[in-house]
Chains A and B, each alone.
Chain A
Amino acid sequence: MTETVLIQLAGIILFLPLLGFIVTLLLGKKIKLIYNFENAIIIIAFSLSVVLAFIKLSYYPQNTVVGEFQWINLGNLPVLGPVSIDLGIMVDNIAALMIIVVSLISMLVHIFSIAYMKGDKRYNRYFAYLGIFTFSMNGIVFTHNILMMYIFWELVGLSSYLLIGFWYEKKSASDAGKKAFIVNRVGDLGMFSGILILFYTYHTFTFDKIFQQIGMGHIPFNSEFWLTVTGILIFCGAIGKSAQFPLHVWLPDAMEGPTPVSALIHAATMVAAGVYLVIRVFPILSGGALFFIAIIGALSAFIPATIALTQNDIKKVLAYSTISQLGYMILSLGVGAYSFAFFHLITHAFFKALLFLGSGSVIHAMHHEQDIRKMGGLRKKMPITYATFLIASLAISGIPLTSGFLSKDGILAGTFAFGSLTGNWFFAAVGFLVALLTAFYMFRLVILTFHGEPRDKEKYDHAHESPFVMAMPLVVLAALSIFIWYTPNPFNPEQGPLLSQWIKAPVIYTPQDARYPFMRSDAAPKELGQTAQANNEEVVFSETYTEAMHNAHVPAMLLSLFVAGLGLLFAFLFYQWKKLNPDKLAEKIKPLYNLSLNKWYFDEIYDATFVALTLGISRLFAWIDAHIIDGIVDGSASLTRYISSFSGKFDNVVVDGLVNSTAYFSGFVGLVFRRIQTGKVQTYIVLVVFSLVIILFLFKSF
């Protein structure tokens, strides 16, 4: 087993879904059952991913395996210097774990969709789109350079657009698709600028080479400020793709797409790509950039959590909770809790996919009713869906014995440690507050949907448990939301191999001055500093940080347990036992309630500012177009017409005259010579005889 095999395996996993996409798209109209091909491909891809991850994690847990080739070599350009672009595949532990998450959820969503999308008129096309999405996501996971990541980034955006607008006959769906695409472009513009700065400075796109050059003290424009700016610009891509504040507005609208798509793309994998990007570029993020990231993460965690409190559409609640959880991950990266961010990415992917597929199951059973006020009591009708949904809700709320508890607790501990190290407790406060809100709104959703009495009797009567292909993915995902897969000790995630061996915080390459104080390598206490120096490659963050994390673990855990329990309690008080009346409370704090219900008026604000501005500018340009440019065009048109009419006359009289006289001449000559051509053989023979005589005379052989 060599590393080449690993690279080849990764290449096969990468391109298999593309094959599925092409075949399914081209043959979709001819062969009704072609979607089975796509499903088979995705199952093969998943099996290969398991093999890949197994090989990588058990044989090469420390190495990063890279296979690259030169794509473009422009040589030594006058201004830019040597330009050569490499493409390649990098398989490290992060990628190996991520590919399992992506292909597993992709596979489950494929299977779930077989039943959920049954009867759709573009059934095969739907599976083709899932195929290209999986292909692009795999590309993001395996890339070893930021250009390839950008390419696949845009491909992911494309497939997301196609799938959100899959039911494009519905205006809201096609609008949502466009909105997602355009809002993402705003973030990608920033990311692109960041990539350009990196390329201008380092003449390469490859992560490792950029990291090494930064490690040697070579930073953009020789200024730490520009390093921070570059980091923030690249993070802009993540803001767009991961739907972070202030570009989060597209994600709730994206719920217009089919529900399995929401599970795959807008909850589990694609939106996680933003977090994955930050994880990839983490080593070059300076302290300033990290602080900015932490603020964005905190805002994105808090604002959507408050919005989710009052939403009545089951998918909207989940959408806002997704933004909130992604905000958690971003916040976690911002405060330096790198490994917990990735851990939460994995666990969240599973339980959020489960929540969405569960809601898809409910929506399917309720005949596309999404309003939770019309549900209730479904517990008895849909036991499997209820049980799995409950497990996922427990996980997202951070109740012990679930995976969510482990990862969320780690993030809260990270914010806690950050507070204790820097004295900035803002992030910790936001973290715990959001944990409270999360528990509350998730159980509001569970209680309103599954508990109590049915509020819409007719729909309730028709509800039924979903078929096997829909229930099976739910059960698998529910199993993956239990702690046991990640660590043997339900209260300490670091005892499992995932955090202790596989996910390691990377070496930080930014200049010492630009880092957080606690990340500097000399920030360790004197007696511990020796070991820190000796194992510089291994211990990345300072001992101080490790110490602080260790100390933060227990209090953070207790506090998070307390707030989650509090949220749960309030949810039950309000909606299950009806001890408190939510409507009265809403009446009391009317402005706040309206703010939350109307999603903090983000859409309205954007409409009034950016959209209105754009429209105004467009109108201005339209006016310029209509009056000035069209005037010029019209003027040149009439000039052209004048010239044309002149040239037309010239044509008619002079040129045609010449042509016609030639024709007359030929006709005349033809008339004359026609006499000779009688069509009679004997005439020709006479002519031949005379010719022969003439020739003989010419030879003069006598």
Chain B
Amino acid sequence: MSIYDLTFYLFAAITVISAFFVVTTRNIVYSAYYLLFTFFGVAGIYVLLGADFIAVVQLVVYVGGILILLLFGVMLTNKITNVQIKTGTVKLVPAVVGVALLAGVLGASLLNTNWKTISSEVPFSTTHSLGLLLMQQYAVVFELLGILLLIALIGAASMARK
């Protein structure tokens, strides 16, 4: 068992366990904090997969942006003085059955597939290559996404103001 394997298991455990708590904890604010760990674990997995730039982006955007947004959502839609920042659960039985079935089926197909894997050696830093790709081959998509983001933010702002 190499150090690589150990690291993987560590991050995978962090990810899965914290994700489990995210969806089961009754307090929403706690859920949000567990979500932080999930994102962190996922970022670690990215690093193991050789995607260092993506891992950093994951941390910056998710933890720094989206998570904060979600927290704001919680604050704005619940009275903060009210201790009961909790959420109930519904349809527990069909959800458990359905999700278990789904996971079983997906896992079965994962094990039954004969994956053709050629593990390529990933260079130390991917940032330079990704930058070139974004500015050359995916320049148009990149621009479009920028515009999309702008529109989404303006739209969100105008919707929330009403």
Binding site for B on A (CB under 8 A): 682-683, 686, 689-690, 692-693, 696-697, 701-702
**How far apart are B153's CB and chain A's nearest CB, in angstroms?**
25
Contact of B17 with A by CB under 8 A: no
Which of A683, A686, A696 has a CB less than 8 Å from the CB of B105?
A: A696
Complex contact A701–B91 (CB within 8 A): no
**How far apart are A666's CB and chain B's nearest CB, in angstroms?**
29
Main secondary structure of the interface of A (DSSP, over half): helix
Contact of B140 with A by CB under 8 A: no
Bound state CA distance, A555 and B99, in angstroms?
Answer: 132
Complex contact B102–A689 (CB within 8 A): yes
**How far apart are A685's CB and chain B's nearest CB, in angstroms?**
9
Complex contact A701–B101 (CB within 8 A): no
Which of B90, B101, B106 has a CB less than 8 Å from the CB of A682?
A: B90
A-B contact pairs, 28 of them (CB 8 A): A682-B90, A682-B91, A683-B91, A686-B91, A686-B94, A686-B95, A686-B98, A689-B98, A689-B99, A689-B101, A689-B102, A690-B98, A690-B101, A692-B102, A693-B98, A693-B101, A693-B102, A693-B105, A696-B109, A697-B105, A701-B109, A701-B113, A702-B105, A702-B108, A702-B109, A702-B111, A702-B112, A702-B113
Bound state CA distance, A682 and B94, in angstroms?
Answer: 11
* B: contact size bracket: 10 to 19
Q: Would you list which residues of chain B between 68 and 110 have a CB under 8 Å from chain A?
A: 90-91, 94-95, 98-99, 101-102, 105-106, 108-109
**How far apart are A73's CB and chain B's nearest CB, in angstroms?**
64
Bound state CA distance, A90 and B95, in angstroms?
Answer: 97
Binding site for A on B (CB under 8 A): 90-91, 94-95, 98-99, 101-102, 105-106, 108-109, 111-113
Complex contact A696–B106 (CB within 8 A): yes
Return the 4 tightest CB-CB contacts between A and B, nearest first. A702-B112, A689-B98, A702-B108, A702-B109
**How far apart are B99's CB and chain A's nearest CB, in angstroms?**
7
Bound state CA distance, A692 and B106, in angstroms?
Answer: 10
- By a CB distance below 8 angstroms, the chain A residues around B105 are 693, 696-697, 702
- By a CB distance below 8 angstroms, the chain B residues around A697 are 105
**How far apart are B87's CB and chain A's nearest CB, in angstroms?**
12
Main secondary structure of the interface of B (DSSP, over half): helix
**How far apart are B114's CB and chain A's nearest CB, in angstroms?**
11
- By a CB distance below 8 angstroms, the chain B residues around A701 are 109, 112-113
Give the residue among A682, A690, A702 with the most B Cβ atoms within 10 A: A702
Bound state CA distance, A697 and B101, in angstroms?
Answer: 11
- By a CB distance below 8 angstroms, the chain B residues around A690 are 98, 101
Bound state CA distance, A686 and B91, in angstroms?
Answer: 9
Bound state CA distance, A683 and B95, in angstroms?
Answer: 9
Bound state CA distance, A702 and B94, in angstroms?
Answer: 24
**How far apart are A494's CB and chain B's nearest CB, in angstroms?**
97
Bound state CA distance, A690 and B101, in angstroms?
Answer: 8
Bound state CA distance, A693 and B108, in angstroms?
Answer: 12
- By a CB distance below 8 angstroms, the chain B residues around A693 are 98, 101-102, 105
**How far apart are B57's CB and chain A's nearest CB, in angstroms?**
29
Bound state CA distance, A701 and B114, in angstroms?
Answer: 11
Closest to B113 in A: A701
- By a CB distance below 8 angstroms, the chain A residues around B108 are 702
Bound state CA distance, A682 and B113, in angstroms?
Answer: 31
Give the residue among A689, A693, A701 with the most B Cβ atoms within 10 A: A693
- By a CB distance below 8 angstroms, the chain B residues around A692 are 102
- By a CB distance below 8 angstroms, the chain A residues around B109 are 696, 701-702
Bound state CA distance, A696 and B98, in angstroms?
Answer: 13
Known: A686-B95, A689-B101. 17 other contacts (CB 8 A): A682-B90, A682-B91, A686-B91, A686-B98, A689-B98, A689-B99, A689-B102, A690-B98, A693-B101, A693-B105, A696-B109, A701-B112, A702-B105, A702-B108, A702-B109, A702-B111, A702-B113
Closest to B107 in A: A702
- By a CB distance below 8 angstroms, the chain B residues around A702 are 105, 108-109, 111-113
**How far apart are A84's CB and chain B's nearest CB, in angstroms?**
68
- By a CB distance below 8 angstroms, the chain A residues around B95 are 686
- By a CB distance below 8 angstroms, the chain A residues around B112 are 701-702
**How far apart are B107's CB and chain A's nearest CB, in angstroms?**
9
Bound state CA distance, A702 and B109, in angstroms?
Answer: 5
Closest to B104 in A: A693
Bound state CA distance, A690 and B90, in angstroms?
Answer: 17
Bound state CA distance, A697 and B102, in angstroms?
Answer: 10
Closest to B94 in A: A686
**How far apart are A109's CB and chain B's nearest CB, in angstroms?**
73
- By a CB distance below 8 angstroms, the chain A residues around B99 are 689
Closest to B103 in A: A693
Bound state CA distance, A682 and B105, in angstroms?
Answer: 21
**How far apart are B129's CB and chain A's nearest CB, in angstroms?**
34
Closest to A699 in B: B109
Bound state CA distance, A683 and B111, in angstroms?
Answer: 30
- By a CB distance below 8 angstroms, the chain A residues around B90 are 682
Bound state CA distance, A105 and B98, in angstroms?
Answer: 101
Bound state CA distance, A682 and B106, in angstroms?
Answer: 21
- By a CB distance below 8 angstroms, the chain B residues around A696 are 105-106, 109
Closest to A689 in B: B98
**How far apart are A146's CB and chain B's nearest CB, in angstroms?**
77
**How far apart are A282's CB and chain B's nearest CB, in angstroms?**
88
Bound state CA distance, A693 and B99, in angstroms?
Answer: 9
- By a CB distance below 8 angstroms, the chain A residues around B94 are 686
Closest to B105 in A: A696
Bound state CA distance, A692 and B105, in angstroms?
Answer: 10
Bound state CA distance, A689 and B94, in angstroms?
Answer: 10
- By a CB distance below 8 angstroms, the chain A residues around B101 are 689-690, 693
**How far apart are B70's CB and chain A's nearest CB, in angstroms?**
18
- By a CB distance below 8 angstroms, the chain A residues around B91 are 682-683, 686
Bound state CA distance, A346 and B101, in angstroms?
Answer: 111
Closest to A693 in B: B101
**How far apart are B88's CB and chain A's nearest CB, in angstroms?**
12
**How far apart are B43's CB and chain A's nearest CB, in angstroms?**
28
- By a CB distance below 8 angstroms, the chain B residues around A682 are 90-91
- By a CB distance below 8 angstroms, the chain A residues around B102 are 689, 692-693
Bound state CA distance, A696 and B108, in angstroms?
Answer: 10
Bound state CA distance, A683 and B90, in angstroms?
Answer: 10
Bound state CA distance, A682 and B98, in angstroms?
Answer: 12
Bound state CA distance, A690 and B105, in angstroms?
Answer: 11
Closest to A691 in B: B98
Bound state CA distance, A266 and B102, in angstroms?
Answer: 101
**How far apart are A700's CB and chain B's nearest CB, in angstroms?**
9
**How far apart are B30's CB and chain A's nearest CB, in angstroms?**
21
**How far apart are A141's CB and chain B's nearest CB, in angstroms?**
74
